[in-house]
Amino acid sequence: MSSANDQPLIHPTAIIDPAARLDPSIRVGPYAIIGAGVEMDANCVVGAHCVIEGPSTIGPGNTFHPFGRIGGAPQDKKYAGEDTSLVVGKDNMFREYVTLNRGTVQDRGETTIGDDNWIMAYVHVAHDCIVGSHTILANTTNLAGHVTISDWVILGGYTGVHQFCKVGAHAMTGVVSVVLHDIPPYVMASGDSASPHGMNTEGLRRRGFDKERISQLRKAYKLLYRSSLSLEDAIDAIKKLCDDLPGNTQSMADLKLMTDFLADATRGIVR
């Protein structure tokens, strides 16, 4: 198998299990290993010395830089060889030494990565995690098991997220943050342990949120963090903001995203 310029798509030193199902367009670098149960769609690139194990289903356009360990067994002492999986969407970038573990039968049995994520060097995504789409996980970020990262989240370098925590859409953490509780959507948090430090307004602007949408979210933030209300009362107060927004469907959807997240914050929220 070769490309138009006569360069091999699969390096002769790579080891590909005959049971792996790879699209013919995939490029595989020197000494990479792709195991049985791996299904990989078109235009993926597997770097030198990268190891990809199955069961793993990988969508099109993903790039795996050298020395990654993708689809490895979960680091869970209860794991006994069950047939769990990793599912990766499309157009993701995984830099050097990234590790993505498969799920466990004690949870959903699957670790899931969405689309268009930028996963930097030495990031670890543990078993049963859900990572949405359009996220950035900076160098040496570590997600413990059962973590959920929503769309458009940015986690600063050296961020550690405790197991079962959730990080809401458009949230952001600072460098060297330790996340022990859920981070609501749109919120910036940092520290050890992480505490809220305002809204991710610059990120929202870059994603097309207008002044009115950001204004309504700031009101919600003040109700949540600066009004001395209990979490339950803050949720009710944020819901009442929608009464003044009968025609602003975008802001209503923004606020509903926040209240739905807060109502489901099983580990409590950062304070």
Q: Which of 127, 146, 170, 181 is catalytic?
A: 127
- The one-letter code for the residue type at 53 is E
Q: Which of 29, 35, 47, 145 is catalytic?
A: 145
**54 labelled catalytic:** no
Q: Which of 41, 128, 182, 254 is catalytic?
A: 128
**145 labelled catalytic:** yes
**128 labelled catalytic:** yes
Quote the tokens at residue 86: 């990793």
Cβ-Cβ contacts under 8 Å for 197 (sequence gap 6 or more): 174, 188, 189, 190
Q: Which residues are catalytic?
A: 127-128, 145
